[in-house]
């Protein structure tokens, strides 16, 4: 199937690669089908491209590449929504990245990760009730002693 994108032009994708977000993403609830595209091979960055909206493409990052101590405790409701088993769930955890004019000042939303069941191609942006993370953790802290984790 062919989709139109703002960044990549027309792409030919397999329907098997479509990730379904039953609730959409906050702010984009009507967009429920996305594909995940790596920025480049072995990169911690990915694009989450809407199948229906060419202009809707989010930059995501593997948080463990930047924040090794990052943790997400999924609620039973989230596990159920994603059809994930409690032990050894087949999931990917990614965070939405905000990129200002200067890339080295990019931040990651560690508060609300994007969780994907890679086997069933189900996804959601998980917003926990309580967290020590916020929406703007620097990916490249100026002070190397700072991990960017916590408050």
List the CATH number of the domain containing 67: 2.30.290.10
Give the model confidence (pLDDT) of 61-110 as tens digits.
999 999 999 999 999 999 999 999 878 889 999 999 999 999 999 999 99
**Does any domain span residue 148?**
no
Give the model confidence (pLDDT) of 36-54 as tens digits.
999 999 999 999 999 999 9
Q: Which of 142, 117, 139 is nearest to 20 (CA)?
A: 117
- The boundaries of the domain holding residue 95 are 2-138
C-alpha 98/C-alpha 61 separation (Å) is 10
**Does any domain span residue 134?**
yes
The pTM for the full model equals 0.90
pLDDT band at residue 129 under the 50/70/90 scheme: confident
Q: Are 81 and 124 spatial neighbours (Cβ–Cβ below 8 Å)?
A: yes
Domain count, the chain: 1
């Amino acid at each position: 199937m062919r989709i139109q994108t703002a960044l990549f032009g027309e792409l030919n994708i397999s329907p098997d690669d479509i990730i379904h977000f039953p609730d959409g993403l906050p702010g984009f609830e009507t967009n429920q089908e996305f594909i995940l595209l790596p920025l480049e091979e072995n990169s911690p960055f990915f694009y989450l491209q809407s199948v229906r909206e060419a202009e809707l493409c989010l930059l995501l990052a593997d948080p463990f590449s930047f924040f090794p101590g990052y943790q997400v405790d999924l609620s039973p409701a989230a596990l159920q929504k994603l059809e994930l088993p409690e032990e050894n769930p087949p999931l990917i955890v990614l965070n939405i990245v905000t990129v200002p004019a200067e890339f080295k000042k990019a931040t990651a939303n560690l508060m609300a990760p994007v969780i994907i069941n890679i086997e069933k191609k189900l996804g959601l942006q998980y917003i926990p009730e309580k967290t020590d993370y916020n929406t703007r953790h620097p990916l490249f802290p100026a002070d190397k002693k700072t991990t960017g984790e916590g408050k």
